[in-house]
Amino acid sequence: MSELFHKVEVATPKGKIPIHVYGFSHGTERKRSALSPRIANALRAEAKGFGSNDYLMAEGTDNSLLRHINKLTGVKFQIKVADNFMHMSLGKVVPQVYDAEPIEHFNQILLASVDSDGKIQKTYWQIVKRDVNQAPANELEIASEKTRTNAIENRESKDGLIDALCKAGVEREKAELFTEAQTTFRSLLMARAAYHRTFATGQPTRLFVGFNHANEVEEFLHDKEKLDTYVKKLHPPLKAMYDFSESHGWNIVSLFEAHAPNFDTKHHVRLYKWLALEAAKQEHTHRLGGRASGIINIADFRKMLPKTK
């Protein structure tokens, strides 16, 4: 594995399995394809080593899932171009990312829990757009070379965002909560989702995230004490979201263990992706006031499998 990227081995019923974490600049509205040639070449080289059953995950939200929620509830969650930054930046370099599971199924619920009317989100995106448009070209070039940030950089970035939100009229307590939900807490949820996938499949996981999340994701994966300490100090809305996410993760592991023996090994990762996405839809339906059966019809998945002679 390139020294630009790291991997963490996690304990599973099948022994220690690696989770490869690929951090990079996934672009902005000003410059979507933000990968430098050096990082792009390193990712191409990594992709040559992907196994056929490796489980791929990418930061972001499935737009089709958001459309499902919109239709179901009448609540018009905004589907931003930003949700596709990963694919726009990485797809031409690592085409396999188009088959990756969008890892942040519950991002809209998370944002609603810390910003119920969406006003802080609107202010946040205005700040991001302003900062990007005002950034010197050399700063964007430097960002295109990054694969991770350290704890000091992350703290400075958080403080800067909190101050910017406060200057824009957001109460400090709300600004701090929103900022935490958008930064380190998202790293935590992505790390735990990758862990659950790896635990279930027993196959290596390849996780693609923005460079500002990479180091935190790795720390949450290999340092249980750090994870427990962080969770213990979470603000109540974030702690409730974490508990909800963990419950979902283990439910999917159980479903996978129940159904995976019915399928050939080569289909196991595909089965897991399908279970995760279907369960996410059901959880969203339930959380947003709709009726959810709580039952995933495995026959639907069988129809998706290639016909065998």
Asked whether residue 148 is domain-assigned, the answer is: yes
Asked whether residue 309 is domain-assigned, the answer is: no
Q: Are strands 15-24 and 205-210 parallel, antiparallel or unpaired?
A: parallel
Helix (H) or strand (E) holding 193: helix 184-201
- Residue 309's pLDDT band (cuts 50, 70, 90): very low
Helix (H) or strand (E) holding 270: helix 268-287
Does residue 247 surpass a pLDDT of 60?
A: yes
Three-state SS for 17? strand
pLDDT mean over 185-212: 95
Asked whether residue 58 is domain-assigned, the answer is: yes
Asked whether residue 291 is domain-assigned, the answer is: yes
Task: Give the C-alpha separation, 183 to 114, whole Å.
Answer: 13
Q: Which is more confident, 89 or 154?
A: 154
Per cent of the chain over pLDDT 70 is 82
- The total number of structural domains in the chain stands at 1
Asked whether residue 208 is domain-assigned, the answer is: yes
Residue 222, exposed/middle/buried by CB under 10 A (0-12, 13-18, 19+)?
middle
Asked whether residue 118 is domain-assigned, the answer is: yes
pLDDT mean over 91-113: 83
Q: Are strands 55-58 and 205-210 parallel, antiparallel or unpaired?
A: parallel
- Residue 110's pLDDT band (cuts 50, 70, 90): confident
pLDDT mean over 77-89: 55
Domain containing 33 equals 6-301
User: What integer best gives the mean pLDDT of the chain?
Assistant: 84
Asked whether residue 174 is domain-assigned, the answer is: yes
Least confident of 7-21, 127-141, 158-172, 230-244: 127-141
Does residue 301 surpass a pLDDT of 80?
A: no
Report the pLDDT value the prediction gives residue 135, as an integer from 0 to 100: 78
Does residue 215 surpass a pLDDT of 80?
A: yes
Contacts by 299-304, CB closer than 8 A, 24 or more apart: 301/259, 301/271, 301/274, 301/275, 304/270, 304/274
Least confident of 1-5, 120-124, 209-213: 1-5
pLDDT mean over 129-158: 87
Report the pLDDT value the prediction gives residue 81, as an integer from 0 to 100: 41
Task: Give the C-alpha separation, 301 to 303, whole Å.
Answer: 5
Report the pLDDT value the prediction gives residue 86, as an integer from 0 to 100: 67
Asked whether residue 306 is domain-assigned, the answer is: no
Q: Which is more confident, 233 or 296?
A: 233
**Hey, what amino acid is at 192?**
R
pLDDT mean over 50-75: 72
Q: Read off the pTM.
A: 0.89
Report the pLDDT value the prediction gives residue 261, as an integer from 0 to 100: 87
Residue 109, exposed/middle/buried by CB under 10 A (0-12, 13-18, 19+)?
middle
Report the pLDDT value the prediction gives residue 8, as an integer from 0 to 100: 96
